[in-house]
Structure 1
């Protein structure tokens, strides 16, 4: 593969993993290889249109994909909070991975769904960083979110600082979008 992957295991049976930065079509295949290489089961959100492609959709579900329709307001975050809380109460293994930008294009920040799920369910946040300049993927940076958005995101930003996307000009700032803007963009994009 030519990449170095740092992975030390998960600290708990449930959590949220964010992958940063998401600037290229190569990010997802790279993460599938990393997921396979470290041998962990992680569910992930993906845009629903990918799941409608014959064979690709079946394969994505088989490897842990959960389709997310981004054109309608429907409570994905609320249902994920309920699912994560249920898995946590039952002691079941459940990690959800996603790209918080939700797109490969430049946007002015991260969508807040991952943050709301992690805080509501009191699960750790795994910050996975990709560095195309050094061909390095870090899968070992955990943060326990306190619910103080500014403090939490400052810590996440520190962990993401060394990351370099394949297309650095598309890297989103590591800040949460305003919740009302975030919800609007979920509907429009």
Structure 2
């Protein structure tokens, strides 16, 4: 029922849902561009419309009262961005023990302009040996969903170039805030 409601809401607001024909049971979903709080609302509708049992990473301050419990029930996983705490190994471990697991990460790490992408999603995908799904919200075309699934080669330059090619021309709500697709750390 939620799937149909989400699909109808997206259509009502003029959004087209995009998804490749094959969907792996386990993947790291990269959400780009992330330039507005509205991205989260649209991403939730896409998650419901596609019937994805996806978990998403958000800054730990989102998970405080009064909305923290609801965000956890919606698949949220808090992360303390101020400290290195073994998050990559923890998430790779989750893939090892689950037959189905979709993990959504915004590689920019913020809605603000940064100099590039954090590499956590990439390191998780390599460690867990799962593909990277390229999720998006394109305000210019009013399209949202998943562009494709890519298997990472382990060559960072090759992999980031392939990712960038797929996202070419996709625009966030505030295009000037979309970080360039290149490695930050």
Structure 1 and Structure 2 fold alike (TM over 0.5) = yes
Within 2, Cα distance between the matches of 1:62 and 1:127?
A: 24
Q: What 5-or-longer segments of structure 1 have no aligned partner?
A: 179-189
How many residue pairs end up in the alignment? Answer: 173
Residue matched to 1:20: 32
SS at match of 1:133: coil
RMSD: 1.2
Residue 108 of structure 2 corresponds to residue 101 of structure 1: yes
Equivalent-residue separation in structure 1 for 2:36 and 2:129 (angstroms): 31
Alignment partners' CA distance in 1, 2:44 and 2:23: 21
1:48 aligned residue = 60
Corresponding position of 1:35? 47
Q: Structure 1 residues 71 and 60, CA, compared in 2 at 3 Å: closer, same or farther?
A: same
Cross-structure match for 1:135: 142
Answer with 64-73 or 3-12: which moved more. 3-12
| In structure 2, C-alpha distance between the alignment counterparts of 1:48 and 1:146, rounded to whole Å | 31
Secondary structure at the counterpart of residue 59 of structure 1: helix
- Output the CA distance in 2 between the equivalents of 1:107 and 1:45: 18
CA deviations over 1:58-108 (Å, ceiling 9, x no partner): 111111110111122211112111221222xxxx11010111101000001
Is 2:88 the partner of 1:77?
yes
Unaligned runs of 5+ in 2: 1-9
Report runs of 4+ in structure 1 exceeding 6 Å deviation: none
- Cα drift, residue 9 of structure 1: 5.4
Query: Superposition pairs for residues 172-183 of structure 1, below 5 Å?
Result: 172-178=179-185
SS at match of 2:154: coil
